[in-house]
Amino acid sequence: MATETPVMRLRRPRWRDPRLAIGILLVIVSVLLGSLLAARLSQTVTVLAAREAIVPGDVLTREDLTTVDVRLGDAAPGYVTSLDQIPEGAVAVSAVHPGELLAVSAIGQPTDVSLRPLVIAVDAAVAESVVPGGSVELWRTREGADGEEPTAELLVEQAVVRRVDEGSSLGMRAMSVEVLVPQEFLAAVLEALAAGERLDVIGIPGADGVRP
């Protein structure tokens, strides 16, 4: 006599089943959270940006800045959205390149800037390779004594170009660059200038404000 195989019968889900209710609730919550996140990421905020290069020590004025609408998400509090956020007499404490957003951390007072300006005569090719706001190195070259080869020494690892002047007439080194030098290196640079040693301004590859 053949044995009958028991038939598995599936029960219809009951709407009152708490597991079904929890599952539906989780789906609804995930959809709502995804919609809120997408809306937040697509939301734009008006932020101040530099019209031209702004270097450390420059007083921040209305004429230096413009407004742009960008998507920043959670990073928005780190940027300046209104001129009202800039205290009277405030200066830039770091370089802000043309079109770059003005960060809250880039604003300070004159006493916060430890850079000092120096004008260095350079070859025209050197002056044309850097722009205001660019990061550069300062190298000193000393003539060798008793027929020895000249030696080069890195004086300043990172300075900031403040201005490029094409109006000087200094022979072969017919242009000058005004650079902002950290105060702790100022004495060494002044000693090299006073000794008539050659100082070279070298653009840092890959740094903002250096022409390729």
> What is the structure's pLDDT at 128?
76
Q: pLDDT, tens digit, for every residue of 87-99?
A: 999 999 999 999 9
What is the rounded average pLDDT for all residues in the chain? 82
Q: pLDDT, tens digit, for every residue of 164-174?
A: 886 544 444 56
> What is the structure's pLDDT at 136?
92
The answer to whether 141 and 152 have CB atoms below 8 angstroms apart is yes
CA 206, CA 190: separation in Å to the nearest integer?
28
> What is the structure's pLDDT at 212?
46
CA 34, CA 198: separation in Å to the nearest integer?
62
CA 201, CA 158: separation in Å to the nearest integer?
10
> What is the structure's pLDDT at 172?
47
The pLDDT of residue 24 is above 80: no
> What is the structure's pLDDT at 152?
87
Q: pLDDT, tens digit, for every residue of 186-212?
A: 999 999 988 888 888 988 876 665 554
CA-based nearest residue to 179, from 125, 126, 138: 138
> What is the structure's pLDDT at 58?
93
CB neighbour list of residue 127: distance below 8 Å, 6 or more residues apart: 164, 165, 166, 175, 176, 177, 201
Say what the pTM is. Answer: 0.69
With residue 65 as reference, give the H or E element that holds it.
strand 65-70
> What is the structure's pLDDT at 20?
63
> What is the structure's pLDDT at 103?
94
Q: pLDDT, tens digit, for every residue of 98-140?
A: 999 999 999 999 999 999 999 998 887 777 788 889 899 999 9
> What is the structure's pLDDT at 13?
56
The answer to whether 137 and 157 have CB atoms below 8 angstroms apart is yes
The pLDDT of residue 82 is above 50: yes
